[in-house]
Amino acid sequence: MSKLSILIPAYNEKDTILEILKKIEVVDFQSINFDKEIIIIDDGSTDGTRQILENFKDKYKIIFNKRNLGKGGSLRRGIAVAQGDWLITQDADLEYDPQDIIKLLKSAEENKALVVYGSRVLNGNKKRKYSGLIYAAGGLFVTWLANLLYQTNITDEPTGYKLFKTDFIKSLPLTCQRFEFCPEVTAKIAKRKIKIFEVPINYYPRHKNEGKKIKWRDGWQAIWTLIKYKFTD
């Protein structure tokens, strides 16, 4: 039986952390011969998320950052301790449906892939692709730029569902701190000439007033990251 490491970076997600864990727990991974480990990285939460997670230290692998490192910094800590054969990133909010992870795992096995992305664009539900026009335009532009710079052919570069063969993602020298995890990992995968497979996924966007944390400056950071790694290692 293979094992999947599910990495959940969480910063001030007290209203959703228990619900997302429940959603993950009901996914029937054993139906495709997979076991799982859940790794939660609390990124210096101040809203009570940490206190909630303290009650689950015996059930899940939990890392408590002493200060806020950012999503990228938290994911790098989770990657370092992951022990599964495969690894997937899972946001702590409720924008992504854990049932879709099955589709990514099946694609990985069928295609003998090292990397599979879940695409919000391929799901055909145009109303739920992004949480607003600015996010939609930013996501489309970053995807277009990645394809232009790295000759990839993907539809959703900033997707939150990215599945990797664990040994492979551990081999990438990541330095990201914030939301530039996505463009950095995409750039470094593409520079190794690794094909990125995609499967359609569901998406239930939340808005700024619901706690969405990514900001316009993170879009500029994503653009700069893609350009930077085109010309550097």
* pLDDT at residue 135, rounded to an integer: 72
Average pLDDT of the segment spanning 140-153:
97
Q: How far is the C-alpha of 162 from the C-alpha of 29, rounded, in Å?
A: 17
pTM over 0.85: yes
Nearest to 174 by CA among 78, 52, 99, 92: 78
User: Which burial class, exposed, middle or buried, applies to 23 when counting CB atoms under 10 A from its CB (0-12, 13-18, 19+)?
Assistant: middle
* pLDDT at residue 138, rounded to an integer: 85
Looking at residue 19, its amino acid is E
What φ, ψ does residue 200 adopt, rounded to 5°? -70, 140
pLDDT band of 127, cuts 50, 70, 90: very low
* pLDDT at residue 136, rounded to an integer: 76
Average pLDDT of the segment spanning 151-176:
98
Contact yes or no for 38/3 (Cβ under 8 A) = no
Which bin fits 139, alpha (ψ -120 to 50), beta or left (φ > 0)?
alpha
Q: Which domains does the chain have, with CATH numbers?
A: 2-231 (3.90.550.10)
Q: What is the pLDDT of residues 105-123, one digit of tens each?
A: 999 999 999 999 999 999 8
* Chain centroid offset of residue 195 CA: 18
**CB neighbours of residue 147 within 10 Å:** 16
Mean pLDDT of the chain: 93
From 106-110, 114-118, 204-208, 226-230, the region with the lowest mean pLDDT: 204-208
